[in-house]
Amino acid sequence: MSHIVIAFLLVFAVGAVAGCVGNDVPESPTEDTDVPGEEVDEETEVTSVDITFNKYEDELVESVNIKARNFDEDTPDLRVEIEDERTLIFNNEEGVGYDYDPETGVWTQLAGTMAEAAVVVFAQAAVDGQNVAMDYGVDGTADFAYGGEAGEIIVNEVNPTISDDEFTPPDGAEIEETPL
């Protein structure tokens, strides 16, 4: 995978996450933007989420789905699906990330600084989704804005059981290692 593609993904993610960090996501729903969903009991600990970030520029330009689990770890397990263009997975137990390019059918093992940067950005996005889940509930949405960009976070599911298979390339998959 080219470093340009990873850089693009990180720029999108940084924009989406930066708009959600530091109280830019409203504390409570407003009539104009945020929509409450099915409430999550205050006693419930959110340990896994399935969320979608949609980015808008007058119309939907990009959609990113994130599945995350094990928020009690330093870095949660992550599966990031960027439309039909890319899939990134980060397996905390293995301490490794993978990028799938559907055009080539190849998984690339991510390592080094680029992998660490991607993990930090998407892990923060997952934590933001965890917070939105607690504030807005299942099917709830929260809008965000950052610079000239706007979007929404949609909570698809709270505490789903996510299979280990979601966080590793399929058996028999072609895997290339990224040179450090």
Q: What is the mean pLDDT of the chain?
A: 76
Cβ-contact 143, 33 below 8 angstroms: yes
pLDDT at 3 over 50: no
Instruction: Determine the pLDDT at residue 127.
Output: 86
Q: In what order do the strands lie in the sheet with 96-101?
A: 141-146, 149-158, 48-56, 60-69, 77-82, 86-91, 96-101, 106-110, 175-177
Residues counted in the chain:
180
Instruction: Determine the pLDDT at residue 132.
Output: 84
pLDDT tens-digit series, residues 44-72: 678 899 999 888 777 777 899 999 999 88
Residue boundaries of the structural domains of the chain:
1-27+69-119+136-180
Q: In which band, very low, low, confident or very high, does the pLDDT at 12 lie, cut at 50, 70 and 90? A: very low
Instruction: Determine the pLDDT at residue 180.
Output: 56
End-to-end Cα distance, the chain: 13
The secondary structure of the chain in percent helix, strand, coil, rounded to multiples of 5, reads 25, 35, 40
C-alpha triplet 19, 147, 7: angle, nearest 5°: 75
Q: In which band, very low, low, confident or very high, does the pLDDT at 38 lie, cut at 50, 70 and 90? A: low
Q: In this structure, are strands 175-177 and 106-110 parallel, antiparallel, or unpaired?
A: parallel
144 or 89, higher pLDDT: 89
Buried/exposed 27-48: b ≥16 CB within 10 Å, e otherwise: eebeeeebbebeebeeeeebeb
